[in-house]
Amino acid sequence: VTTTHAKLMLRALSGEITERPPFWLMRQAGRYLPEYRATRAEAGNFLDLCYNPKLAEEVTLQPLRRYGMDAAILFADILLIPDALGQPLDYLEGEGPVLDPIRSAKDLSALNLENIHTTLEPVYETVSRLSSSIPSECTLIGFAGAPWTVATYMVEGRGSKDYVNIKKWMYGDPVGFSTLIDIIVDATIAYLLKQVEAGAEVVQIFDTWAGVLPDNEFRKWVLGPTKRIVEGLRRHHPDLPVIGFPKGVGGNIISFVEETGVTAVSLDTGTPLDWAARNVQTKIPVQGNLDPILLVQGGEAMENRIIEIINRMSTAPFIFNLGHGIIPQTPPEHVGALSKLIRNGSTS
């Protein structure tokens, strides 16, 4: 395959086998970096940081300055959509997001699709600033949460272990529940289109909790909504690269790749490399899947696995990434070693 792109990330996404894999890391901006903690303290709380274009731009650029990733990901959060829809949201120190839960169809009248851009305007400004401030060889990624994953927080009111409330609604009143999913689909299309108009070159859809559904429900609440988002974006931007991340879905990743229309797919840490090379990477470019805990460990264990992943996956289009986000305990110098290894083939 030959393309006209100069950027490594866009070349891989267009189906090219590149001289080395482009790399970026999920949650590459965040608490493992002292400069992030300083900017976050300056912003006040987490939402204020997300809605402050200058500071959100700054934290997006921080990992690039240190490590020169091939892509920058907009600094924001998947829960800005419920916030913009009018569902009260807070981030508690040491606990994560907390929302006033929506538990049934009668609660849906509290959501308002009409005014989301009023709340989200600062995010578009962050994207626009980044599109001129990132290095010329770097690709700008916008993102949103997938409807299922965003809905888990809207219904449970926080992170969950068993998803009892959302599943009870989904199984007990699928028609009412589909109204919630439809609202998130529409908001997400509008949100991502604005990011693209502001300068995002690629978008990634994070479906962190897709793996908790049985396959018939996976089809209804993951495949269908993701496909509608991809179609909604492509109606306006036929060539827009879209990366899907259906985490924890095992063999269901095959139907995800065949049916949603995504350009590329991100593999979680548990996906077997050989299997993915034969059954997924033969269809579309893949991204992934280093265990984020190897980045905490560092040293030989990390380096050996990085080399193994690159060797196994580089005979077809491949983007190096983690299988899930960087965790706060990660020593920054281990990210430096990873960057050198991918770039130069050695850590020195």
Q: State the residues that interact with ligand 1CP by CB under 6 A.
A: 26-31, 40, 46, 73, 75, 77-79, 91, 96-97, 143, 145, 159, 206, 208, 325
Catalytic residue chosen out of the listed positions 40, 51, 129, 191: 40
Shortest gap between Cβ of 19 and ligand 1CP (angstroms)?
Answer: 26
Catalytic residue chosen out of the listed positions 32, 51, 153, 191: 153
Q: Is cis: bond before 289, omega within 30 of 0?
A: yes
Q: Which is nearer to ligand 1CP, 61 or 116 (CB)?
A: 61
> Active-site residue 219, yes or no?
no
CB atoms within 10 A of CB 43: 19
> Active-site residue 31, yes or no?
yes
- The candidate with the shortest Cα–Cα distance to 211, out of 152, 165, 258, is 152
Whether 3 contacts 11, CB under 8 Å: yes
For the chain, the 3-state helix, strand and coil shares in percent, each to the nearest 5, are: 55, 10, 35
Beta bridge partners of 246: 207
Q: Which is nearer to ligand 1CP, 243 or 342 (CB)?
A: 243
* Residue least distant from ligand 1CP (Cβ): 159
Q: Which is nearer to ligand 1CP, 47 or 105 (CB)?
A: 47
Q: Which is nearer to ligand 1CP, 88 or 345 (CB)?
A: 88
> Active-site residue 65, yes or no?
no
Shortest gap between Cβ of 191 and ligand 1CP (angstroms)?
Answer: 13
Shortest gap between Cβ of 206 and ligand 1CP (angstroms)?
Answer: 4
Exposed/middle/buried for residue 39 (C-beta within 10 Å: 0-12, 13-18, 19+) = buried
Amino acid at 143: F
Q: Which is nearer to ligand 1CP, 31 or 220 (CB)?
A: 31
Shortest gap between Cβ of 141 and ligand 1CP (angstroms)?
Answer: 9
Q: Count how many Cα atoms sit within 13 Å of the Cα of residue 182 in the half-sphere of its side chain.
A: 8
Buried b or exposed e, range 159-195, using 16+ CB within 10 angstroms: ebeebebbbebbeeeeeebbebbebbbbbbbbbbbbb
Quote the CA–CA distance of 234 and 242 in Å, as a whole number: 9
Whether 283 contacts 262, CB under 8 Å: no
Phi-psi region of 298 (alpha: psi -120 to 50; beta: other; left: phi over 0): left
Shortest gap between Cβ of 43 and ligand 1CP (angstroms)?
Answer: 9
Sort strands 96-99 and 89-92 into parallel, antiparallel or unpaired: antiparallel
Q: Which is nearer to ligand 1CP, 268 or 298 (CB)?
A: 268
Amino acid at 111: L
Q: Which is nearer to ligand 1CP, 72 or 302 (CB)?
A: 72
> Active-site residue 40, yes or no?
yes
Shortest gap between Cβ of 272 and ligand 1CP (angstroms)?
Answer: 21
Largest CA distance in the chain: 60
Shortest gap between Cβ of 26 and ligand 1CP (angstroms)?
Answer: 5
Question: Which residues belong to the active site?
Answer: 27, 31, 40, 77, 153
